[in-house]
């Protein structure tokens, strides 16, 4: 009996050892893989550091404005700034938008924090809101009415965890109204990044700030009384393609779209007193800072959209396509002025004529029903393309778009 038991144990132990051998080999391979993953992370971190070093060298060479003797440039991993102690925010923030953003996957960190490099002390959380702990461990927030608006946007650094996180320093924040920060300002940031989708072999030098003057209001409830800029600027240069543009946008809800706020960089310099891109060769600087070609930057213009006619240039009771939105449903007969940028027949045979902005971004439509087309001696869909129109009627809504239902040619004036 003992012999049988011994043999059984020997066989069992032998099978156990055979089973354990592959398990040991598997564990060893898994440890090797873990080691490779750690090495990969280390190399990726080194690659990021090299990219940041190269970017910072480029920024220092070409992307910084001129500074006066009493100003100090604060440099972070991927952005530099001059801080205005008087206004408790940056006078300007300079950074580069690299083509790496096209494949970058880093997302918002929301780690807002004090910038320790500002020796006089940067703005703090209590300049924008207060928070009070609750019994359930959560916080109640008491906001002061302003967003912590990025000057250099975090999404411009989504290829680098370090650079993106640093964009949340309070030195890169400025008090912006929500309807500005989350709408037209976000649209502008997206528009500039979209430029790289169409020009992926270049990088952009960007400088951003509020227009800081001595008479600005302040966030009264904040501890440092941060100034509230009434306007913000952003200037951008594509050095490789010798293109440049500026934007100046009021800190409020925008009625007009991005292109309306475009300026030459020279105009922004004259307003702010800042000499942008001091390191650029003179021939490039002179060329790009004086130009104002919106089409390369705003794709909708390149595709045929136009700016609304300036409202102050129109006669009484004449409105451009933007102002017309405010008159929807008031029952008054007015004249809307705009350029035809697209026309089409609907499936039901009606004619849709978009003024200034094409579908799907249309802002005003002239609608001719199928039964009313006979009131025209020409085909409106063909003949009105590209023309400047004065259209008279009551402004209604077609879906979300302001519209005049045009019944006869008498209510339409075609301008050359």
Report d(CA 125, CA 144) in Å as an integer.
Answer: 11
Q: What is the pLDDT of residue 35?
A: 81
Q: What is the pLDDT of residue 33?
A: 81
Bridge partner list, 96: 205
Q: What is the pLDDT of residue 34?
A: 83
Q: What is the pLDDT of residue 248?
A: 98
Q: What is the pLDDT of residue 3?
A: 46
Report d(CA 395, CA 108) in Å as an integer.
Answer: 42
pLDDT digits (tens, 9 = 90+) for 79-120: 999 999 999 999 999 999 999 999 999 999 999 999 999 999
Report d(CA 343, CA 351) in Å as an integer.
Answer: 7
Every domain of the chain and the residues it spans: 52-302, 311-415
Phi, psi for 229 (deg, rounded to 5): -60, 140
pLDDT digits (tens, 9 = 90+) for 307-334: 999 989 999 999 999 999 999 988 889 9
> What global pTM score does this model have?
0.88
| CATH code 3.30.310.160 for 52-302 | no
Task: Identify the CATH homologous superfamily for domain 311-415.
Answer: Nucleic acid-binding proteins (2.40.50.140)
Report d(CA 411, CA 409) in Å as an integer.
Answer: 5
Report d(CA 293, CA 47) in Å as an integer.
Answer: 36
Give pLDDT < 70 ranges for the chain: 1-23, 416
pLDDT digits (tens, 9 = 90+) for 330-362: 888 999 999 999 999 999 999 999 999 999 899
Q: What is the pLDDT of residue 21?
A: 54
């Amino acid at each position: 009996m003992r012999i049988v038991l011994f043999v059984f144990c020997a066989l069992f132990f032998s099978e156990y050892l055979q089973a354990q051998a592959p398990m040991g080999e598997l564990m060893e391979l898994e440890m090797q893989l873990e080691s490779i993953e750690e090495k990969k992370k280390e190399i990726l971190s080194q690659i990021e550091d090299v990219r940041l070093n190269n970017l910072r060298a480029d920024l220092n060479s070409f992307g910084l404005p001129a500074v006066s003797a009493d100003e100090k440039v604060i440099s972070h991993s991927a952005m530099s700034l001059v801080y205005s102690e008087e206004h408790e925010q940056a006078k300007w923030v300079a950074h580069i938008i690299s083509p790496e953003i096209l494949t970058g996957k880093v997302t918002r960190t929301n780690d807002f924090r004090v910038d320790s490099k500002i020796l006089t002390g940067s703005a703090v959380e209590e300049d924008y809101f207060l928070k009070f702990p609750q019994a359930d461990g959560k916080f109640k927030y008491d906001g002061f009415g302003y967003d912590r608006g990025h000057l250099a946007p975090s999404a411009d650094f989504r290829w680098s965890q370090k650079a993106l996180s640093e964009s949340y320093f309070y030195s890169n924040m400025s008090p912006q109204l929500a309807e500005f920060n989350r709408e037209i300002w976000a649209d502008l940031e997206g528009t500039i990044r979209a430029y790289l989708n169409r020009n992926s072999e270049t990088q952009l030098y960007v400088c951003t700030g509020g227009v800081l003057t001595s008479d600005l209001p302040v966030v009264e409830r904040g501890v440092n009384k941060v100034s509230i800029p009434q306007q913000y600027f952003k200037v951008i240069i594509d050095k490789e393609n010798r293109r440049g543009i500026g934007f100046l946008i009021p800190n409020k809800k925008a009625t007009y779209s991005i292109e309306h706020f475009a300026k030459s960089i020279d105009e922004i310099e004259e307003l702010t007193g800042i000499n942008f891109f001091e390191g650029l060769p003179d021939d490039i600087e002179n060329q790009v800072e004086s130009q104002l070609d919106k089409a390369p930057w705003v794709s909708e213009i390149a595709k045929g959209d136009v700016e609304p006619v300036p409202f102050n240039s129109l006669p009484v009771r004449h409105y451009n396509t933007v102002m017309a939105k405010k008159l929807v449903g008031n029952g008054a007969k007015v004249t809307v002025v705009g350029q035809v940028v697209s026309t089409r027949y609907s499936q039901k045979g009606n004619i849709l004529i978009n003024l200034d902005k094409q579908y799907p971004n249309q802002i005003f439509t002239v609608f001719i029903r199928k039964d009313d087309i006979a009131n025209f001696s020409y085909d409106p869909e063909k003949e009105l393309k590209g023309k400047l129109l004065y259209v008279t009627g009551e402004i209604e809504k077609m879906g979300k778009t302001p519209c005049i239902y045009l019944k006869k040619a008498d209510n339409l004036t075609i301008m050359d």
